[in-house]
Homo-oligomer: A and B are copies of this chain.
Amino acid sequence: MTNQLDSFFGAMADPTRRAVIERLAAGPASVSELHAPHKMALPTFMRHLKVLEETGIVRSIKKGRVRTCHIEAAPLIEAQGWLAWQREIWESRLDRLEVLARQIAQQSEGENSDT
């Protein structure tokens, strides 16, 4: 995936990975602790963790045989910023759009609007 946002959104698109984020938001945890609530095999789960690390959303340090993971702020902030930015732009003309959409809808009385 090309840039920061690509990999970030890609990482967040999976429920397991979002659950890990939610858990880590409450504080750091070991791989096994993070794995416990998920019924998939450990190696499978590890790959989700790896995705999060490669994206920079999660960091980890290994002490002895235990790897402890924690959240990294920057990517989340960037993504939130992008969404906020988009929202600003289109919200500033949302009322106009609604009007426009309604006009088009009325002009096309008996027509398909979906699929």
Contacts and interface: CB of A to CB of B under 8 A. Distances in A.
Contact of A26 (B27, B64, B68, B89): B89
A53 B83 CA distance: 18
Which secondary structure characterizes the binding site on chain A?
helix
Contacts of A9: 9-10, 12-13, 18
Contact of A24 (B3, B6, B90): B90
A36 interface: no
B5 A68 contact: no
A65 to B, nearest CB: 11
Given A61-B101, A70-B101, A83 B76 contact: yes
Nearest to A82: B18
